[in-house]
């Protein structure tokens, strides 16, 4: 859908009463004297540490043609703090609106190429934070952010201008540096659970918020299906009562892949189970669940494709994959722990497959391995279950809100609890003698 809104600077009047030329000069000057790249614009009158008001609504998003590039225009219920960032590999522009939410029913993505923008998407990034991500076909930057009042609506107007590749790379590198510095020592220690505490399972419904995941034939979204299934497994585990359960997300919010792993480790989880669902538009008869473990080399080409698809979650949500490089150091430090973790992961994958087999819901080659970023905790046994194919009519039916799904969730919960309470210790005792490197 294309809108024709005039984003020409001469028509704009800034809420704070500065001329737009003045605002542009101010931002250009800022970028020059403090080359951080990432920009933050607070609404006029906002106190420095004022609590975030969650009541700002984004009522419409327009990505519009503009002679010199493109324009991003948001209709808001009132002014909001805006943070913009540039990401590279692939080139993207990220706009964060802390404290804002999207009005129900407005379009949240577009695939039409407009100036340097090739596609865009919007959604909740984290609780209370909305994000827009613009994919770029050419290097470009947000020239400035202006609030304009027009017929009772507050418009946030962001002209997007093409820049030289070298300049774009510089800005992206500066933003990345600032991001890593801000994160600093926030990794926190791994917290082992008390010896007498119940073992904890971390359930990880994939995707969420701005990242919808795979789509079914009727527009069913992977993020919704995996969340509903995870909640069913959680309910079954809580009813069982023998182990504790936590989730990486319980609502429609985005959680970066590395953050999911950190959550499992910081809570001292004994098991991490990531839930996903696949789609294969060209092969609609392919059905059933596959259970994945981590491997440097994929077990087959479909496994490699699945990992590539799932690993793109951060990219879709405007997270820089390179932010996660620190995990590499931990990989080395935890090398010994990893062998036992890997062994546990394989056993628990077999256990999980048992639940799907019982319901005749297994893929024909269900046990697979690939390099999933979300499975990289060196000290938490981790599996990723592709519950089925959203493109298969049988699978999508079972994965809907059905008694079959509830029964499957209950059996899966039972298998996971059994593993943690009995088999894990048996393997642990014999691991030193039997584990292969
Ligand atoms: Zn997925």
State how far the Cα of 100 lies from the Cα of 18, in Å rounded to an integer: 24
For the stretch 32-51, pLDDT in tens is 323 334 667 766 544 433 33
Q: What is the pLDDT of residue 70?
A: 95
- Give the Å distance between the CA of 391 and the centre of ligand 1: 13
CA of 274 to the centre of ligand 1 (A): 9
Q: Strand ranges (DSSP E) for 256-332? A: 271-278, 289-294
Match 């002209």 to its residue by tokens: 159
186 CA → ligand 1 middle, Å: 27
Q: Separation of 248 CA from ligand 1 center, angstroms?
A: 14
Tell me what pLDDT residue 47 has: 40
CA 288 to ligand 1 center in whole angstroms: 15
Cis omega (within 30 of 0) for bond into 68: no
Q: Which tokens hold the place of 49?
A: 């540490």
Q: Do 225 and 387 meet the contact criterion of CB atoms below 8 Å apart?
A: yes
pLDDT for 436 beyond 70: no
Q: Indicate whether 186 pLDDT > 70.
A: no
d(CA 341, CA 346): 9
Q: Beta partners for 147? A: 156
What domains are there in the chain, each with its CATH number? Answer: 9-43+54-183 (2.60.40.3500), 200-434 (3.40.630.40)
Question: pTM for the full model?
Answer: 0.70
Q: Quick check: 374 pLDDT over 70? A: yes
Tens digit of each residue's pLDDT (9 = 90 or more) over 191-213: 566 667 889 999 999 999 999 99
The pLDDT value given to residue 13: 33
The rounded percent of the chain whose pLDDT value lies above 70 is 77
DSSP 264-327: HHHTT-SEEEEEEEE--TT-TT--SEEEEEE-SS-SSHHHHHHHHHHHTHHHHTT--GGGGGHH
Instruction: DSSP letter for 17, please.
Output: S
224 Cα to the center of ligand 1, angstroms? 11
Q: Per-residue pLDDT tens for 57-109?
A: 899 999 999 888 999 999 999 888 888 999 998 999 999 988 888 888 999 99
Both tokens assigned to 222:
């992977």
């Amino acid at each position: 859908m294309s809108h024709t809104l005039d984003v020409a600077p001469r028509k704009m009047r800034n809420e704070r009463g500065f001329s737009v030329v003045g605002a542009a000069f101010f931002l250009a000057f800022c970028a020059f004297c403090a080359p951080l790249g990432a920009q933050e614009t607070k609404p006029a009158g906002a106190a420095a540490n004022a609590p975030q008001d969650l009541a700002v609504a984004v009522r419409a998003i327009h990505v519009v043609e503009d002679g010199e590039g493109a324009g991003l225009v948001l209709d808001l219920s009132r002014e909001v703090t805006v943070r913009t960032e540039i990401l590279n590999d692939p080139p993207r522009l990220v706009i964060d609106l802390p404290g804002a939410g999207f009005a129900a029913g407005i379009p949240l993505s577009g695939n039409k190429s407009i100036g340097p923008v090739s596609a865009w998407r919007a959604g909740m990034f984290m609780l209370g934070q909305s994000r827009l991500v613009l994919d770029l076909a050419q290097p470009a930057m947000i020239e400035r952010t202006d609030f304009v009042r027009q017929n009772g609506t507050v418009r946030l107007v962001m002209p997007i201008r093409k820049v030289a590749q070298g300049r774009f790379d510089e800005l992206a590198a500066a933003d990345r540096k600032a991001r890593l510095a801000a994160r600093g020592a926030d990794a926190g220690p791994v917290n082992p659970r008390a010896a007498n505490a119940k073992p904890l399972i971390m359930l990880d419904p994939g995707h969420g918020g701005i990242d919808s995941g795979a789509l079914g034939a009727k527009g069913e979204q992977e993020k919704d299906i995996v969340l509903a299934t995870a909640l069913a497994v959680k309910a079954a585990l809580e009813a069982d009562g023998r182990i504790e359960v936590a989730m990486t997300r319980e609502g429609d919010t985005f959680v970066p892949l590395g953050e999911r792993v950190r959550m499992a480790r910081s809570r001292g989880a004994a098991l991490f189970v990531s839930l996903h669902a696949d789609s294969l538009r060209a092969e609609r008869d392919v059905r059933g669940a596959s259970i994945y473990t981590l491997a440097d080399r994929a077990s087959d080409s479909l496994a490699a494709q699945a990992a590539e698809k799932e690993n793109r979650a951060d990219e879709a949500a405007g997270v820089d994959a390179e932010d996660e490089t620190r995990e590499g150091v931990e990989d080395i430090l935890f090398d010994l722990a990893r062998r036992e973790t890997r062994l546990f992961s394989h056993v628990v994958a077999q256990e999980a497959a048992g639940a799907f087999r019982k319901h005749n819901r297994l893929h024909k080659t269900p046990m697979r391995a690939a390099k999933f970023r979300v499975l990289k905790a060196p000290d938490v046994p981790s599996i990723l279950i592709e519950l089925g194919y959203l493109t298969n009519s049988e699978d999508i039916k079972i994965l809907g809100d059905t008694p079959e799904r509830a029964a499957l969730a209950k059996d899966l919960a039972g298998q996971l609890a059994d593993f943690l309470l009995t088999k894990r210790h048996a393997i642990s005792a014999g691991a030193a003698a039997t584990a292969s490197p």
